[in-house]
Structure 1
């Protein structure tokens, strides 16, 4: 019977959860209880993953119209909003970068510039991974960087083992240098020395192997942690950021575009850098110790120089294997830089942007960040991947079809996009937006806000810290998208109830949802490095527990320092006051 229950647990959960909570909308009158029933149902299905996340996200399309909360047409409109198009456009650019291996070239080039000493190697891999994760998915970044890191470390370990073996053979033969055999001048070692050497050899190799395993664990954790940290720096870096953007536009439709690419980057990028440095210091001390001089190459020993040269040669070999930059890589890089510049200069805040200067209609610009990224995405399907040449054709083409000229393929094709585009996340995003809109339409948000007014007596900084800590713990067991989707509408209602700027708690809690460092199941990068077999769950828990605390402290510091003037958090905004249940 137990085996049958374990085999059919998903079916049992999808059947029992709706029946268990069905008395809530039946006994308690009002649309608030009906919407609450939908939220509880979706939250439990998301947490247990009894249904695929995207399938659970479709429930509002069925339940909200049946309960009279929202019309079906209005619910369906939430599934392809401006934020969803921003997500799709960002992924189009990321897919192009991955498709032409531009991200690998950037990673290897930076590693060659940073250096290959253990401390610098750890810093280099973390910095490169975080930078790439700002623009492409953290899963793809981790999947690319982990094999490179382990190839470098494996070669370092092999070189060190060979060096020690050569030295021991040299000592056995009566010389300290394996390159010179001075048999006539060097006496053979005494019997006691040989016995001592034979006893110490396994210990030395065992210690070396243990040291290699420890550093490999640290490097694996460094890659997956920096992939999660890097995603918080940009609006399109990770999905929870877009969830917040979409819910802000839904719940506070007159928010004056307070969250855009430039304002997000101004707040989150310094936060990411500080957290990345703290993470590097923690992992350095935990896996390399306190000998900074040795691990930064200041000792100058021959063995350290040899290991550095070997690591450098491995990375340089990987870089040379890519060959010279192709036309397609150059164009993708140019389009990527153009996209970032257009994002930053659209509405920089401290000066009029190009959108308001060139595309102003009646005092309002209709251009958003989604407009920009979709424009760049369209160019990827229009620009050829090679220089058009009507005169130079390949030999095989000349022999088979001498009179036919074949155009080169575009930078992107739909088949590649369809294979790599996570369409399930688009539906999941839409389900979250529909849930937030239903909470507002049913009055559940206002009801929750009225119940949270006692929090007004607690200091604001304490509220922010405790909520971020709660979200950071919750996201270890659920996806960060689910966590943000469920918490943000409640946080928005709470902020309105206690006359607190909504971004003061919604923004740091959204960033905290990316602090999934403790468990392999918390986020895909953790699962990828855990699958390599060198890590135990306890290794990840020990390292991630401190990083979670450091992350919450860093985010709380950021929102209470440069976040205040950037978003004007000291006053309750008029766009939030207009939808509040009680006027502040």
Structure 2
């Protein structure tokens, strides 16, 4: 069995290299041409970048080596194959987005160290009771609600230790995967994505998409307009995720007898809220308020969103809420490295022009299709790209081209905007698609392959929802599919 497993591992290692070499040595590919007649050449570096992109995808999905080590391979192979110099490839490993993820993990760790996470977990279990389905639904609803006002990375970092406490009360070995554990953590990651599309504050991709829309159409989209169109989409998805999780990963126990009583007892043991807990809550609240009001306070607009969370982490080390031991043992560096590599390959595809070539080639195939096929084609492209590169980059690549083609087909650009944002917010296939996916993986309750397989029906469901909302809900609220 172990021999077969090793053979399979080496097969996928070699397959990744074979695809990289195939793209590197293949003859030049035809340039992509957009509807305006502009051509996009694919350079040798771009070809090699596509090969590395596919190698990374194969290695990540099949976990042939630790996922963080695959990211190191991304940095190493870029200069080897002439994609980008080593200085550029590795500079992206310290991108502010990676630092934002590190800041979110530090906040979650501080919550755990001072006992807040256990307090929240026990309180939730006292409310929802002993039915495992209600526990799952409660977790998904809470996660989605928090993403309305917080970045979904910060929400996942906060929820992770809470879910570990719930899993401990569920029973069994925390290091041994269970169906309940899989549903709990994969569902949390998916719910974080679904909730994050509901308001402009859920993620950087949302205001970025609205910015592109305004640039191409001259029309602005208000906070309320955005939420009116996408909050129903997000919340329908949250409940779909719940039904998907209890179907695929039917919990081993329908009820956990005595769970509510045990949660009450543990909550009582914690006693009244401590000064340290209040201190941590105040510091985190100030950091989150800075992020939320950044858009409205001119002095804060230029500040990177990683700064408030990293500043909170710094305060926790100064006040000894966290120690160097926590930094060494409790921070999942495998996950931090995973996102470092994801940023590096994303920027490589962007800077070599490979991403733009892919987008224009794909959208040119559907430029004469019926409006619904065109809309689903855009949605599928954004969905695929956002699983591999930053969702802001996926929007930046796809939305401008899509809005140009939409004008020729008479498709309402607003419907293109909302469907693209919905897809960019819900990368359900790969861990690198969104930070909540990778944070959930740290639970050791599921493999990358299990996450990928579970994400297929979830991704197909949200694609179907784009069609349903385009034909029903969006026209009802005054967003018709076609404009004359």
- After TM superposition, is the score higher than 0.5? yes
1:457 partnered with 2:368: yes
Larger Rg: 1
Deviations 1:351-406 (A, max 9, x none): xx22x1x35xxxxx4212212222222222223xxxxxxxxxxxxxxxxxxxxxxx
1:414 alignment partner in structure 2 = 324
- Note if contact 1:116-1:308 (Cα within 8 Å) is conserved in structure 2: yes
Query: Counterparts of 2:349 and 2:52 in 1: how far apart (Å)?
Result: 10
| C-alpha displacement of 1:495 | 4.2
Q: Could you give the per-residue CA deviations for residues 130-167 of structure 1, whole angstroms, max 9, x where no partner exists?
A: 6689524465443322333469xxxxxxxxxxxxxxxx
From 426, 430, 436, give the equivalent of 1:512.
426
Q: 1:235 touches 1:242 (CA, 8 Å); kept in 2?
A: yes
CA contact (8 A) 2:68 2:337 kept: yes
User: Structure 1's 126 and 330: CA in aligned 2 closer, same or farther, altered over 3 A?
Assistant: same
Q: 2:189 aligns with which of 214, 223, 228?
A: 228
Shift in CA distance, 49/121, structure 1 to aligned 2, threshold 3 Å: closer
CA contact under 8 A between 2:71 and 2:341: conserved in structure 1? Answer: yes
SS in 1 for 2:425: helix
Structure 2, unaligned runs of 5 or more: 29-42, 173-177, 407-412, 431-436
Give 1:450 shift: 3.7
Alignment of 1:519-534 (within 5 A): none
What is the aligned counterpart of 2:389 among 474, 479, 485?
485
Q: Return the match for 2:294 from 336, 346, 360.
A: 346
Superposition deviation, residue 47 in structure 1: 2.6
Is 2:185–2:445's contact at 8 Å kept on the other side of the alignment?
no
Cα pair 2:194 2:238 within 8 Å, conserved: no
Q: Residues 89-100 of structure 1: matches in 2 within 5 Å?
A: 89-100=103-114
For residues 345 and 558 of structure 1, the distance between their equivalents in structure 2, rounded to whole angstroms, comes to 31
- Is 1:139–1:525's contact at 8 Å kept on the other side of the alignment? yes
Of 54, 59, 63 in structure 1, the residue corresponding to residue 68 of structure 2 is 54
Deviation of the 1:96 alpha carbon: 0.6
- 1:371 is matched with 307
What does 1:36-55 correspond to in 2, within 5 Å?
36-55=50-69
Q: 1:434 to 1:222 in 2, by over 3 A?
A: closer
Separation of aligned partners in 2, 1:229 and 1:553: 17
The reply on whether 1:441 has 2:351 as its aligned counterpart is: yes
Structure 1 equivalent of residue 6 of structure 2: 7
Aligned twin of 2:27 = 28
Partner of 1:329: 277
Task: Decide which of 419, 426, 433 is 2:336's aligned counterpart.
Answer: 426
Distance 2:455 2:78 in 1: 39
Say whether the 8 Å CA contact 2:163–2:185 is kept in structure 1: yes
Shift, 1:510, TM fit: 3.5
Q: Secondary structure at the match of 1:371?
A: helix
User: How many aligned residue pairs are there?
Assistant: 417
Name the counterpart of 1:146: 167
Aligned to 1:105: 119
Q: Matched residues in 2 for 1:21 and 1:85: separation?
A: 29
Cα pair distance change 1:441/1:220, threshold 3 Å: closer
Residue 85 (str. 1) matches residue 47 (str. 2): no
* Aligned-partner Cα distance in 1 for 2:440–2:95: 28
TM-score by length of 2: 0.66
Change beyond 3 A, Cα 1:37–1:484:
closer
Q: Which residue of 2 aligns with 1:381?
A: 317
Q: Deviation of residue 416 (structure 1)?
A: 0.7
The normalised TM-score by structure 1 is 0.56
Distance 2:480 2:315 in 1: 39
TM superposition shift of 1:320: 0.9
| Maintained 8 Å contact 1:35/1:439 | yes
Secondary structure at the aligned position of 1:456 is classed as coil
Does structure 2 retain, via aligned residues, the 8 Å contact 1:34–1:67?
Answer: yes
1 CA distance for matches of 2:428 and 2:330? 22
CA separation of 1:545 and 1:527: change in aligned 2, threshold 3 A: farther
Could you list the runs of 5+ residues in structure 1 that have no partner in the other structure? 152-215, 289-294, 296-306, 348-352, 360-364, 384-409, 475-479, 517-521, 532-536, 571-584
Q: Contact between 2:343 and 2:390, CA under 8 Å: does it hold in 1?
A: no
